[in-house]
Amino acid sequence: MVVEDNQPTAEQVKAANEAELARWEDDFPEKDLKVPFSRDDKEDDKKTDDEDDKKDEELEAPEDIDYTDPEPVVKTEDPGEFKPSDNSFTVETLDGIKTKITSPEQAEEYADANADNLSASQQIKLVRNATTMESKLAREQEKWDTQKAKFDSESQVDQERQDNIQNFANEIQYMITKGLLPAIPTEYATADWSDPDVAKQPGVKEQIELVNYMTKENNVRAKVGVKPFASMIDAYNDMVREQGKDEKKESKERSDKARKEVAAKVTAPSASSEGIQAPKGIAVGNPNVFKRNSAIWE
């Protein structure tokens, strides 16, 4: 018995497949399948990252902050030793003898010694002049005392400031010896640190950053009534803690940004693709579909 060969030819299989694909190819629009990512995007991102890395590697001078140099503490002139002005006057006795009185004590002694040799008017004049002299001397002494006390107080504050500055210098030297701050090259130790080229040099840059941080923080603390930093080491430790927090925050922000960028490059299912049914003519899950270059259809 002859068995007929009902297998389709290669041409028939090809034609059937093309016809079947044409029926459902519009169910998957190309725009919904396209991933918004290209090699150019990758190259642009790489270029941007390279530029950022290069910029970070450049040595820049620390950003200056807006603050004014402290005013001199000692504003009061040193009054020196007390030297009263010349308030002397001359008194004359009945016998015509003239005497110069230079102090209230002298006037009192003169009045007692010459009570019988002075007329009533001369005695009154002596007392009046002695009283005026005493009042002037008292005012001058009071003015000198006030100026001297103010000068001494300002001098004490200035000395405390100088001691603090010296202590700051000692603390910085200590941090250099501990390796917390880089040493300053000899040629920049006495240079003008306000010069941007000098300010960005290793050692100088780090010290300026620390001083700026301490000054800025002390200004903030002063506004809210918090005791300012009295130690450069305390300011350094606080600055390092804040920098650590900022680095963690920036690292998290970069990580979040990277995740978002990756997620953005993977197209979410569109409304047109949700609930897509298998194209007519395709048996979902049937392993024989397009198997061995043959199609199964109704």
Q: What is the pLDDT of residue 296?
A: 39
- Tens-digit pLDDT profile for residues 21-66: 666 566 555 555 555 545 555 555 555 555 555 444 455 666 665 5
Q: What is the pLDDT of residue 262?
A: 62
For residue 214, with 0-12 CB atoms within 10 Å meaning exposed, 13-18 middle and 19 or more buried, which class applies?
A: buried
Phi and psi dihedrals of 90, rounded to 5? -110, 135
For residue 101, what is the enclosing H or E element?
strand 98-101
Helix, strand or coil, per DSSP, at residue 103: coil
Domain ranges of the chain: 69-180, 191-265
- The closest alpha carbon to 33, from 277, 266, 284, 278, belongs to 266
Helix, strand or coil, per DSSP, at residue 244: helix
Q: What is the pLDDT of residue 5?
A: 54
- Tens-digit pLDDT profile for residues 165-198: 899 999 999 999 999 999 998 888 888 888 888 8
Query: 89 has which bridge partners?
Result: 101
For residue 31, with 0-12 CB atoms within 10 Å meaning exposed, 13-18 middle and 19 or more buried, which class applies?
A: exposed
Q: What is the pLDDT of residue 288?
A: 46
Alpha-carbon distances, residue 95 vs 99, 114, 121 (angstroms): 12, 11, 15
| Through-space distance between the first and last CA atoms of the chain, rounded to whole angstroms | 29
Phi and psi dihedrals of 278, rounded to 5? -60, 135
Mean pLDDT split into 10-residue runs, the chain, 298 residues: 58 72 60 53 52 52 59 88 93 92 94 91 93 95 95 93 90 94 89 88 91 91 92 92 74 65 58 47 43 43
Please give the structure tokens belonging to residue 202: 């290793």
Cα Rg, the chain, nearest whole Å: 49
CA distance 174 to 221: 26
- DSSP-assigned letters across all residues of 246-287: HHHHHHHHHHHHHHHHHHHTSPPPPTTTTTPPPPTT--TT-T
Please give the structure tokens belonging to residue 203: 């050692």
- The alpha carbon of 180 is separated from its chain's Cα centroid by a whole number of angstroms, namely 19
